């Protein structure tokens, strides 16, 4: 087992990590003398070296090596990750040895050889939305839809990206119906009925996507004195 993580979960249970088991913490019960696995979704099956668990701002934070996440009360699912303005791990390249909170609610991450990293409590919230590949993120239009928990991003060369507000990519439409190449989506508007109008560079018509993201069609309109016909297509979720 790792030398860097041993923590009481309850008065009768202790959390630890075994190098032989990736993607999971282990819970030993003093009452039953048994060990159970606590799988953590989101660690990408990477070996866990150092681990820290702390409460902050009514949240439970869980760090693995140099990465820090918000998790749920069961500690089974990693949610938002704390990152710097380059979308890198907030602790840099060094593992987090311990986490402390001061009297003002600021967090201090003690890293192994990378110094101390400070997370300011009253800072502007920051989230990074990306597919993870720089060449796929040439975003030229954006439409936040708070009511539906969505962020729509129109790209040049990679179609339409739809994220939820937890930064997860929930839908990717690479091409509009009947197109052979990914378009440049340069503007998006939400209609009063909740659908989305999508404007594509170089096209004389507008696309309309349904509120549930399942259907896309040519929006009936007159542009450049030309009347378009409505064409509906069902999209896979």
Q: Answer yes or no: do 81 and 153 share one domain.
A: no
pLDDT at 224 > cutoff 60: no
Pairing mode of beta strands 78-82, 96-101: unpaired
Q: How many other CB atoms sit within 10 Å of the CB of residue 126?
A: 10
Out of 69, 85, 119, a domain closes at 119
Query: Are 10 and 112 within one domain?
Result: yes
Q: Give the pLDDT confidence score for residue 172 in this predicted structure.
A: 93
pLDDT at 225 over 70: no
What does each C-alpha distance from 56 to 80, 87, 125 come to in angstroms?
A: 14, 21, 15
Answer left, alpha or beta for residue 53, where phi above 0 means left and psi between -120 and 50 means alpha.
beta
Given pLDDT bands bounded at 50, 70 and 90, which one contains residue 45? low
Range in 77-81, 125-129, 168-172, 187-191 with the lowest mean pLDDT: 125-129
Query: Is 129 part of a structural domain of the chain?
Result: no
Find the distance separating the first CA and the last CA of the chain, reported in whole Å: 42
| Co-location of 115 and 92 in the same domain | yes
| Summary mean pLDDT of the chain | 84
Domain that holds residue 38: 6-119
The answer to whether residue 60 is domain-embedded is yes
On whether both 143 and 173 belong to a single domain, the answer is yes
3-state secondary structure of 176: coil
Contact predicate 134/150, CB 8 Å: no
Question: How many domains in the chain?
Answer: 2
**31 part of a folded domain:** yes
d(CA 128, CA 85): 8
101 and 145 in one domain? Answer: no
pTM over 0.75: no
In a domain, 92, yes or no: yes
Helix (H, G, I), strand (E, B) or coil at 209: strand
């Amino acid at each position: 087992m790792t030398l860097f993580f041993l923590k009481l979960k309850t008065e009768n249970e202790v959390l630890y990590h075994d190098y032989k088991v990736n993607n999971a913490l282990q819970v030993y019960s003093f009452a039953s003398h048994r060990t159970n696995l606590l799988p953590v979704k989101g660690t990408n099956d990477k070996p866990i070296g150092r681990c820290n668990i702390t409460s902050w701002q009514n949240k439970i934070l869980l760090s693995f090596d140099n990465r820090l996440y918000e998790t749920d009360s069961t500690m089974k699912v990693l949610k938002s990750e704390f990152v710097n303005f380059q979308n890198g791990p907030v602790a840099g390249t060094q593992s987090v040895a311990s986490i402390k909170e001061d009297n003002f609610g600021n967090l201090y991450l003690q890293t192994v050889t990378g110094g101390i990293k400070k997370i300011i409590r009253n800072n502007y919230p920051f989230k990074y939305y990306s597919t993870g590949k720089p060449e796929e993120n040439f975003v030229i239009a954006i439409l936040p839809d708070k009511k539906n928990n969505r962020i729509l991003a129109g790209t040049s060369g990679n179609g339409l990206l739809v994220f939820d507000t937890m930064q997860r990519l929930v839908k990717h439409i690479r091409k509009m119906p009947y197109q052979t190449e990914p378009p440049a989506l340069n503007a998006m508007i939400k209609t009063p009925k909740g659908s989305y109008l999508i404007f594509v560079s170089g096209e004389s018509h507008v696309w309309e996507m349904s509120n549930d993201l399942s259907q896309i069609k040519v929006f009936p309109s007159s542009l450049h004195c030309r009347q378009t016909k409505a064409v509906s297509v069902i999209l896979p979720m």
